Structure 1
Amino acid sequence: MSEKDRDWYWQQVKQQNQKQAQQEERQRRNWRQWVRPLLWLLIPLLLIAAGTALWRNPASQLWLQERWVLLQSRLGLASTTESTAPAPSRYTDSPRTLAQCIKPGNVIDDEVRACVKGYRPKTW
């Protein structure tokens, strides 16, 4: 084999190796082109899911309504007749002290604990 043939052979081998390396690099980069579209899809979905979870929680609905009324009043969009506070509910999430909810005879049970956390009204 002459030197010319040997050089040609090794040049062909080198080109084949370069082609294989380029193909492997393309395959490695292939997943990267999907990252940005996936983020553009996932971030709004996560925001929608968080908003839905907040909207379904009854405690957060009252909070959102209060924030909305406050925002409208700050922007000057709410009229004075519409800005009345909602009627307080019998079941509030505001905690109470144990002294306010304790049963006669200093009895503490599940009903008293629920009253302290604001889950049930004091009926005793």
Structure 2
Amino acid sequence: MSNMSDHSSSVSREQVAEAYLKAFRLIDDRVTPYLGKVTTRVLVQGAAKKVSSTYPFLHFLVKMPYTDVVPTVVQEQLSGVSTIELAAALDALLQECFAGIKELTGDLIAPPIYDEVTRQLEQLQ
């Protein structure tokens, strides 16, 4: 989805994590009117379960809502992870979330939200 990993030398893990957390918050804002407040949290937790076999450092998101992730959590959970690997993992997580949204709503809300999130991530690079 994003080219954030292309600019990793000048971007910190914290900046990458914050950019994707903002993307999840944007999804939450857009999905809530259609599917309820907890839907995005459940989508992120389910997506984390799916991608944690490839990216085990994201396993903490299976039990911790993304809304509880703060800078100290990023430092604790992701300290040994490169910026490139983190961006790839969070992008995979985001893709799984969009697959879940599409499964729940078809093309009703997934494509416009996908476009909006893509634009937001590109602006944060």
Q: TM-score range by the shorter chain?
A: under 0.3
* Structure with a larger share of its residues in helix: 2
Structure with more contact order per residue of length (Cα contacts < 8 Å, sep ≥ 6): 2
TM-score norm. by structure 1 comes to 0.23
Length-normalised TM-score, structure 2: 0.23
